[in-house]
Amino acid sequence: MEGTEIVEDEGILRPMKCELNHLTMPDGSAMFMQGDTAVVAGIYGPVEARVQKMMYDKASIEVVYTPIKGPPCVDDRMREQIIKETCEAALIATLHPGTAICINVQELQDSGGLLACTVNAACLALINSGLSMKFMIGAVNCMIEKDSQKLILDPDTTQIQEAKATFTFIFDSSKKDLVSCQTTGRFTEKEFLYSFDKCKEASQCVFQFFRSIVTKYATRI
């Protein structure tokens, strides 16, 4: 729906598309596309927690990530953990003690930046579910090219082949602070800080997109 330009010529986020309340059963859901990477997220909650997972002072957050085919592997478990911890930071879990909030994410297509896409989809689904949040979370993916040392924001699968290092940064919307970060490959401190700054700038486009989507749906009711 919106592609947004940043100073560098390679610094363009792929176009984002989103449909809220796409599923009827969950309490909140979102289908989110970033370029060709697409995921569907659904939220159930607050629901009754299982006895082992129940916490008396706050809601327990469960994340289930389902890949397109086969059972979830180690990478998928790690992705679940990252989504869980970032959503825990954003949600005000103490408002619903003794309950569970279940976040289900289904991968539809992976064309690079899957983690960023899942986090953004989870955030939009949380917004749609009406659960109280401290802030929104927005994820941006970037990479450093092996030969040219150039920073590429939101790369696709073919670009990632040439990557020396990839970064996924997740920011909050109120203070624009870093919530979590995932990296692969080898890189210098300078490269890390440079990509951090670029992604921070780009995260504003993600939040702007969230706002435009919610405005579109809010004014219709």
Partner 1 sequence: MEVTVGDVAMPGDIIKDISTHNTKDKIILGPGLRRDGEVIVASKAGVLRKGQSATYYIDSYQKRYIPNRGENVVGIVTQKVGDIFKVDIAASEQAGLSYMAFEGASKRNRPDVQVGDVVFAKLLVASKDMEPELVCVDSLGKKGKLGVLSSDGMLFTCSFSLVRKILNPECPLFKMLGKEQAYDLAVGMNGRVWIKARSVHETIAVANAILAAEYTALSEMNSLCNRIAKMLLQQR
Question: Which residues make up the interface to partner 1 (CB under 8 A)?
Answer: 21, 27-28, 44-48, 90, 92, 95-99, 127-136, 172-174, 207, 210-211, 214-215, 217-221
The answer to whether the beta carbons of residues 117 and 38 sit under 8 Å apart is yes
**Long-range pairs of 214-221 with CB within 8 A, sequence gap ≥ 24:** 214/20, 214/127, 217/20, 217/21
Both structure tokens of 38 = 């697409």
Nearest CB to partner 1, comparing residues 181 and 214: 214
CB of 96 to partner 1, least distance (A): 6
CB of 102 to partner 1, least distance (A): 11
Both structure tokens of 156 = 């696709």
How far is 17 from 213, CA to CA, in rounded Å?
9
Nearest CB to partner 1, comparing residues 104 and 129: 129
Nearest CB to partner 1, comparing residues 35 and 45: 45
CB of 92 to partner 1, least distance (A): 6
Nearest CB to partner 1, comparing residues 13 and 49: 49
Is the previous residue joined to 72 through a cis bond, with omega within 30 degrees of 0?
A: no
Residues 6+ apart with CB under 8 A from 189: none
CB of 61 to partner 1, least distance (A): 14
Nearest CB to partner 1, comparing residues 111 and 128: 128
Which residue, 8, 201, 26, 165, is CA-closest to 103?
Answer: 26
CB of 135 to partner 1, least distance (A): 3
